[in-house]
Structure 1
Amino acid sequence: MSYVSPPDFVRKMIDSGEAKAFMSTRDTLIRAFMAGAILALSAAFAVTVTVQTGEALLGAVLFPIGFCLLYLLGFDLLTGVFTLTPLAWIDRRPGVTAKSVLRNWGLVFVGNLAGAMVVAVMMAVIFTTGFSMDPNEIGEKIGTIGESRTVGYAAHGAAGMLTLFVRAVLCNWMVSTGVVAAMMSTSVSGKVIAMWMPILLFFYMGFEHSIVNMYLFPSGLMLGGNFSIGDYVLWNELPTVLGNLVGGLTFVGLTLYATHARTAGTIERPDAPAADVRVGADA
């Protein structure tokens, strides 16, 4: 597996964040677009598997295919850059500013949304045979997901919003762990195995991922879901983005940085005990 130790892969995290902060607008948008599109296809695939087999766990087991592919191809998700780019600023890399970090986040958000929306339209065409029929079983399921995770939260008011936020925090705790896990190995197989585990966990547990939702909810609206664009934005996307930011940066980026890049040092060791010297009878 060619394991990379934590101090070494944390240095890779900071280097990666620095590179993303300086990436051109064109390259950032292209990479974000492709990441959003591939993850959207993976979500459509996972829902299809779940509906056709009746096994949600099987859909979750297969969902990480898209995640692994997009990261092996060097594409970027908003959830990943939430964790990586701030580390370059915190580490005081020359030229990396708060403005450059926010610029990266904004461009990746736009690119992810565009990629997910394109796939949402294409899959809606498939699920409705060019919008000439009612949605098939898979399309109906996607519409139901959109309802339960927007107006379903809204029905509980503040408690629903808190639940949504916590699910988003937990989501990017796992997703960003997957991003970082890819840096723990120098082999393709090692990267894939390490990424697969936390991504499977987040998807099966129903945690809220802002980019997956960029596909599921617009697609649900096109497929007859009983909720509005306002419901989607207020009762899912915005709180999910905020929760993803908190989860990835707090539980992954800052914790790893604090203990492997900016350690608190070591405690003072006590003096070694004096050697046992025997005298007398053995002399």
Structure 2
Amino acid sequence: MPGVNGFSPQEIAGLTSRAGIAKSHLRWGELIVKSFLGGVFISLGGLVDLIVLAGSPGLRSSNPGLATLIAGFTFPLGFVLITLTNMELCTSNMFVMPFTALQRKISILDMVKNLVVSYLANLCGCLFVAGFLGWWSDVFDTDTMSSYTVTQAENRVNVQWSVNLLRGVGCNFFVAMAFFLSIGAVEFVSKVYTIWIPVWAFVIAGYQHSIANYFLVPIGMFYGTNFGVGKFIYQSIIPVTIGNLIGGIVMASVPFWYLYGREEQVAPSVQTGQPVAEDEKVKKRGSRSPDSDDETVFSGQGSSSSGLRYDRTDMAQAA
């Protein structure tokens, strides 16, 4: 295992590439189900955050910063569930898929397919939680709580278009950092910590997450907001989504590719801490553990153009 219980940025870049390649090889059904559950998980974090804020009117009025700090601490739950169960979240894919495409290890079509399908399935998962686990289950069962769901939704939509755009940029820059750092951790406690802090930070800052907004805004609309679907799309969905793309690609994928992705790096195994090539030698010598269930993923139908092999179990633990 690595001596510092983690990997260098160059090694993390290699693991990010392997994650992107594995994501591009997901079957349609796998991608849809993983993305739907990704939307469910991100909404569960938003649900807990909203319950804490909505149920603390006194703290919100007397010390709004402390209320945001405490409630925001619960929001990263969704990101942790997504990462540790290896589900698909479009906003984190806005970093890893363009990064891998810049290395020419996946095609533009692979990238677009993943982003579009994961976005739409994330949306469905968020609406499911908003409708079934939020509104119909009567979680916000007091007038104070239900009125706050309306207020927070209006605060997300009734702002300038450019403000939501920039809030989306800031949000996904933090999300990309959380993804990158979590891949560099080799065990669950470190992964949780590296995810929790950046996500907590963007919630405190009031940045906007396009997928989470598909839960936070509709739940307020169910209780009666002063805007309709059209304004939600134009004033929130469009600018925040564009901002998330800019934050994930321009502020994260491109600079990290420039720094660490232009030259081929030998990605380490998350299980052994050794380069993949060394793991392959061990396997060829018959030293592989008999209870190992590694699934090898190849580019295309057979093998990648470079002849490298990508281990799905390692990818699952890393991404």
TM-score, scaled to structure 1: 0.84
- Measure the CA separation in 1 of the matches of 2:55 and 2:115: 36
- Verify: 1:10 aligned to 2:13, yes or no: yes
- Measure the CA separation in 2 of the matches of 1:135 and 1:228: 23
Q: Which residue of 1 aligns with 2:231?
A: 231
The structure with the largest alpha-carbon Rg is 1
Q: Map Cα deviations across residues 220-278 of structure 1 (whole Å, 9 max, x no partner).
A: 11111121001110000111111001101122222112111226xxxxxxxxxxxxxxx
Q: Which residue of 2 aligns with 1:216?
A: 216
Equivalences for residues 1-283 of structure 1 within 5 A: 2-53=5-56, 54=59, 55-93=67-105, 96-122=106-132, 123-127=134-138, 136-150=143-157, 152-153=158-159, 160-262=160-262
CA shift for structure 1 position 124? 0.6
Asked whether the 8 Å contact 1:146–1:227 carries over to 2, the reply is no
The one-letter amino acid paired with 2:47 is A
- Measure the CA separation in 1 of the matches of 2:244 and 2:199: 14
Asked whether the 8 Å contact 1:127–1:135 carries over to 2, the reply is no
TM-score, scaled to structure 2: 0.75
CA shift for structure 1 position 20? 1.2
The one-letter amino acid paired with 1:258 is Y
Could you tell me which runs of 5 or more consecutive residues in structure 2 were left unpaired when the two chains were aligned. Answer: 60-66, 264-319
**Residues 32 and 206 from structure 1, CA distance in 2 versus in 1: closer, same or farther, beyond 3 angstroms?**
same
Asked whether the 8 Å contact 2:69–2:204 carries over to 1, the reply is yes
The one-letter amino acid paired with 2:98 is P
**Residues 225 and 91 from structure 1, CA distance in 2 versus in 1: closer, same or farther, beyond 3 angstroms?**
same
Asked whether the 8 Å contact 1:127–1:139 carries over to 2, the reply is no
Q: Map Cα deviations across residues 83-102 of structure 1 (whole Å, 9 max, x no partner).
A: 11122221111xx2211211
Q: Which residue of 2 aligns with 1:268?
A: none
Could you tell me which runs of 5 or more consecutive residues in structure 1 were left unpaired when the two chains were aligned. Answer: 154-159, 264-283
Asked whether the 8 Å contact 1:124–1:139 carries over to 2, the reply is no
CA shift for structure 1 position 139? 2.4
The one-letter amino acid paired with 2:107 is T
Asked whether the 8 Å contact 2:36–2:121 carries over to 1, the reply is yes
- Measure the CA separation in 2 of the matches of 1:48 and 1:146: 14
CA shift for structure 1 position 52? 2.4
Q: Which residue of 2 aligns with 1:269?
A: none
The one-letter amino acid paired with 1:138 is M
Q: Map Cα deviations across residues 190-248 of structure 1 (whole Å, 9 max, x no partner).
A: 11111111100111111010011010111111111121001110000111111001101
- Measure the CA separation in 2 of the matches of 1:12 and 1:39: 24
Q: Map Cα deviations across residues 116-162 of structure 1 (whole Å, 9 max, x no partner).
A: 00000020113378xxxx86432221111121221x21xxxxxx111
Q: Map Cα deviations across residues 156-175 of structure 1 (whole Å, 9 max, x no partner).
A: xxxx1111111100000001
Counting aligned pairs with the same residue, the percent is 24
Q: How many residues align?
A: 250
- Measure the CA separation in 2 of the matches of 1:139 and 1:44: 12
- Measure the CA separation in 1 of the matches of 2:7 and 2:70: 30
Would you identify which runs of 4 or more consecutive aligned residues in structure 1 move more than 3 Å? none
- Measure the CA separation in 1 of the matches of 2:139 and 2:44: 17
- Measure the CA separation in 2 of the matches of 1:38 and 1:142: 19
Q: Which residue of 1 aligns with 2:313?
A: none
